[in-house]
Structure 1
Amino acid sequence: MLDIQQLSKRYGDFAALQDVSLQAQGGQVFGLLGPNGAGKTTLLRILATLLRPTSGRAVVAGRDVNEQPREVRQIIGVVNGGMGLPARLTGREILRSFAGFYGMASAQTEARIAELDHALELGRVLDVRAGEYSTGMRQKVVIARAVIQDPAVLILDEAASGLDIFARRTLLDWVAAARRPGRLTVYSTHVMSEAEEVCDRLAILHQGRLLAEGSQAELLDCTGTRGLEAAFFELVRQSGLSQEAATGAAYAP
């Protein structure tokens, strides 16, 4: 479902990503773990066809992100912590409009909205205008919008950022329940407890470099640690990289 080979992205002398290679299979929640500035968002923007890599190749469900960007966009859903919604529309209207972009029939759209209402506990959010939403309400609709067409690959970039404890719980439960053959969820976070709870395999990034990839058990075993946070710091120590964040990424265009 995901095949990345020697992927790099540079802004002048600053390397946001450096020769990253990894693979992920369907039926998984695949975690990208690392601090702010690690290169996670740069990688995900390349996968979502929002950035072109400087070098290397990325293939999403058999589609090359550089050569087939339109086809990639048809089979992915993307959520990040800062997505907005049109304030004058209700949640239901937003979901209907996005379903229309994918050519979904009216009956199919209404059935899908009902499914997402149950799975994400949307409730009254569907019939309230987005301008009146709390952060948690907005993020629920953003997620529902991203998966309205049941994408093969779902990209969640710090999707729990800013959520209250109840909305965060709903999100994590939904991510865990959404596993199925033929779907890959890419879950990017710097919160170790979230990764420990929902991710089947993980790639740990720091300063644009891939430090390790594997299951949680494999990462703990290779570092001799008992938790992902300790494993991360041990991998940074072994790499010889600084523990400071690569803040140049925040200023990259």
Structure 2
Amino acid sequence: MTTSAIAVSGLRKTFGDKTVLDGIDFEIPAGTVFSLLGPNGAGKTTTVNVLTTLIKADSGTVRVAGHDVATEAKAVRSAIGVTGQFAAVDELLTGRENLQLMVDLTRGSTKVDKRIVDSLLERFDLVESADKSAATYSGGMRRKLDLAMTLVGSPRIIFLDEPTTGLDPRSRRTMWTIIRELLADGVTIFLTTQYLDEADELADRIAVLNQGKLVAEGTPEELKRQIPGTHVRFRFATIDDLDVAAGILPESTRDDDALTLRVPSDGGTKSVRALLDRLDEHSLDAEEFSVHTPDLDDVFLALTGHDTAEVVAK
């Protein structure tokens, strides 16, 4: 595999008169987590389907694991694993039987050993339920089994299309742990999610897709810095101290009930120190202070015009 696990250039896809992907470009280094964000209908799943050879692009170049998805589809499929939005487990089979089925389907691969079934059951904490019907599994257990089935054959690139949608917080955290373990093993993760905290927690780089175009790309911190709103928040002991501080920092916004001042700032060490020095010059101490920066919800809203809670609820 090359140092780039995935390289996309000029990717376009239309359905009828609707342009779903309008010439997008991105590159994903091997052994990293790349998260693609966007409102419903932005083109996230279409992107995944093109990269995993399920549908063909209208134009552009896409290379996955060093192989062209248009001309070397078989080689691409042998290098990847895919976990879709819904757990693709057979409810008539047990967990063990689902995994064994995947082993049998990939029997031609020299990398596959039947002992992998026991290994995966243990890794995903499914040993106790291994011989129970998958129909009896909780949503979190099904998602774990689905991801375990994806790992049969040891793919080096894994596509996770909204893997934690509908899971309870504990199950989501478990999936996050599994994703980090895969990353530690050198696996490349392509993640789509509607949960901004998930992307913030897991992704090395994030791209935001809106109306078929990539409108931003960078690390979570780089994206947050693009959005204005960083400020320093001071809390004072008394209303008199707050009055004095408001006079010293006229650019601030005050909250009398909370005894706080909100001062616009870039959040850097020098600017925060300058604010503290101005208070010190008047022998004024704050009870506490903290630096607040926009989160990914603010970034998402600014770039797409969609509220994330509204998008997830759809």
- TM bucket (normalised to shorter chain) is 0.7 to 0.9
| 2:51 corresponds to | 47
Once residues 128 and 48 of structure 1 are traced to their aligned partners in structure 2, the CA distance between those partners, rounded to angstroms, is 31
Amino acid at match of 2:160: L
Within 1, Cα distance between the matches of 2:68 and 2:186?
18
1:81-119 Cα offsets, whole Å, 9 max, x none, are 223322221111111121222225798331x33432333
**Stretch of structure 1 that moved more, 152-161 or 135-144:** 135-144
Of 184, 188, 192, which aligns to 2:192?
188
Please say if 1:31 is aligned against 2:99.
Answer: no
Structure 1 counterpart of 2:14, one-letter code:
R
* Structural RMSD (CA): 2.1
CA distance in 2, matches of 1:146, 1:214: 28
CA distance in 1, matches of 2:111, 2:27: 37
CA distance in 2, matches of 1:186, 1:122: 25
| Equivalence for 2:17 | 13
Greater mean deviation of Cα atoms: 27-36 or 101-110: 101-110
Q: Which residue of 1 aligns with 2:244?
A: none
Higher helix share: 1
Residue 165 of structure 2 is matched in structure 1 by: 161
4+ runs deviating over 3 angstroms: 104-107, 242-245
Deviations 1:27-62 (A, max 9, x none): 111101112111110000111111111111111010
Match of 1:215 in 2: 219
Question: Secondary structure at the residue paired with 1:126?
Answer: coil
Percent identity (aligned):
34
Aligned residue in 1 for 2:201? 197
d(CA) in 2 for partners of 1:197, 1:62: 28
- 1:147, 1:30 → 2: CA distance? 18
Instruction: Summarize the Cα distance change of 1:230–1:106 in structure 2 as closer, same or farther, 3 Å threshold.
Output: closer
Q: Aligned with 2:167: secondary structure?
A: coil
**Alpha-carbon separation, structure 2, partners of 1:244 and 1:192:** 11
Match of 2:294 in 1: 226
Kindly report which structure 2 residues correspond to 1:1-253, keeping only aligned pairs within 5 A, or say none. 1-103=5-107, 108-110=113-115, 112-180=116-184, 182-224=186-228, 226-236=294-304, 243=306
Give the TM-score taking structure 1 as reference length: 0.87
Q: Which residue of 2 aligns with 1:239?
A: none
* Distance apart, 1:153 and its partner CA: 0.7
Local SS of the residue matching 1:18: strand
For the Cα contact (< 8 Å) 2:112–2:152, is it kept in 1? no
Q: Which runs of 5+ in 2 are unaligned?
A: 229-292, 309-314
Q: From the CA coordinates, give the structure whose radius of gyration is larger.
A: 2
Q: Which has the higher contact order (CA 8 A, sep 6+)?
A: 1
Are the aligned partners of 1:91 and 1:126 in contact in 2 as well (CA < 8 Å)?
yes
5+ residue gaps, structure 1, are 237-241, 246-253
Number of residue-to-residue matches in the alignment: 239
Contact 1:26 1:181 in 2 (8 A): no
Q: State the TM-score, normalized to the length of structure 2.
A: 0.71
Q: Give the direction of change, closer, same or farther, for the CA distance of 1:106–1:44 in structure 2 (3 Å limit).
A: closer
Contact 1:120 1:171 in 2 (8 A): no
Judge conservation of contact 1:223–1:235 (CA < 8 Å) in 2: no
2:89 aligned counterpart, secondary structure: coil
Aligned mates of 1:27, 1:106 — CA distance in 2: 20
